[in-house]
Structure 1
Amino acid sequence: MNVYPFIEAEKTGKHNVTRACELMKVSRSAYYQHAAARPSRRDLADEALTAKIIEVHAMSKGTYGAPRVHAELADAGLRHGRKRVARLMRGAGVAGKSPRRWRTTTIADPAAADRADLIRRDFTTDPTRVDTRWCGDITYINTWRGWLYLATVIDLASRRVVGWAVADHLKTDLVDAA
């Protein structure tokens, strides 16, 4: 026969747990060990909140961290502390995504001479003078395998691409190939 519900009822009725344990011939430590084996109300609330945290995190496609998840829960009417949300996210192995660090791609050679600006920043064009003034640009594209660099050369009058090249490095060979 399980005597622990009787002792629990005595405890909630503001009676003495020690006296109830003596009457039932159970040690107090056995009662408290049995009580600790069950999840507390706080543990049950944490489980429910963790499920909602995981749902909000999944809705954000895994990008939201604790502050944004906390704000979403607050908007939904659930008022919990941000540190509690962060603790539950850590416990569930859920974390937000941080933006990638900026990587410097161009490092100027201090010994190199400045290039002459042959068009003197005048980008106006005459439509009859095709293939007389070209302009180039380099851009970089983030792919699954790393950075990919694209160099293009366009004709200023017709705005057509005259040449282009792609490489996994940002060296002068790329510009020469374009």
Structure 2
Amino acid sequence: MTQSNGRKMSNNRYPDEFRENALLLAQRIGVAKAASELNLHESQLYAWRKKQQMALSCSEREQQQSVEIVRLKRQLADQAEELAIPPKGRDVLRQTPEVRYVFMQQYQAEFRVKSMARVLVVSRSGFYAWSRRCGQKTVSQQRRELCDTRVASAFTEQKGRNGARRLRLDLQDAGYHYNRKTIAASLRRQGLKAKAAKKFRVTTDSKHNRPVAPNLLQQDFTASAPNQKWVGDITYLWTEAGWVYLAVIIDLFSRAVVGWSMSVRMKSGLVCDALQMALSRRGSPEGVIVHSDRGSQYCSDDYQKLIKISKLTCSMSGKGNYYDNACAESFFHSLKVELIHGEHFPDRETMKSEVFNYIEVDYNQKRRHSTLGYVSPMVFERQVLS
């Protein structure tokens, strides 16, 4: 199968972009953990890495540059952590060292002591000595601190995205049973707040004269099995190097993102690549209703040809009615609230890497979805289809 632009569609389940990002993740956290996070076999990652290494012919200088990049990334990560501390500890900078020690103790689960000590201008040895001098605590204090530690750890593990309701389930899975009010009180006590919603712009370009498809969904976003209904949409994300565009394909059965693509241009190839990934990962199913808005990319000849030769059924939202594609809009809302807002992205490659991790590791594998009974899309599919 080929697109009109001449590129041959891969029969492989995992596109090159997915493999590259998976190997980057394995390099950062280890093969075993990356395989577990992405629901892969370790042997797949080793095979991909071996193939990648065989394809590379690096000079000694290039290898040195690679080592330098890793060092700089680690340095940037340290700087990012230190920049995240001042907003939380701005008031204590004018206080005595003891007050700063209290702050450090409170945020140990979120920041490293080394980073906090540097930012708050105190010594690590002084902090540890103060901790030893604090003496014995009452049983209730110990229980409260243990609860705070567990809540802060779960909060950090979910990257500050979950409130009390979802954290209760996360802690329950870890064997810790607290009610929602107890967790909410702990979050308030520690000054931890889940990332809040913000508005974002609509990216649809429907000012064109191309033919549109009928609305086959009619806002019915339910599906009784995988590959019955897919929805697609585009959004754009800002980096210091300029905009980058993201197209996704979501299976309404489990709300899993089954296809996605990123590009510096919002052309038809962007949505075609996302749809091709979905077809590849889902085994090229036929007869799927693929719903989108009336954007020019979805009405393009390339996209419509791919729909036709893949034996899919095209559906489009009503004119100017964003509720007709609410599930895709909801996903972008979650991504921007939980990943984008308040963060700094120096270049497009950093953005692409973070979006890959959010979709493939966090959203599909871990993020609890209220529509699915507060389990993640992949867990839902395994539970229902096993």
TM-score range, shorter chain: 0.3 to 0.5
Give the structure with the higher percent strand: 1
Higher RCO, 1 or 2 (CA under 8 Å, sep at least 6)?
2
- Output the TM-score relative to the length of structure 2: 0.21
Name the TM-score, length of structure 1 as normaliser. Answer: 0.41
* Structure with a larger share of its residues in helix: 2
Larger Rg computed on CA atoms: 1
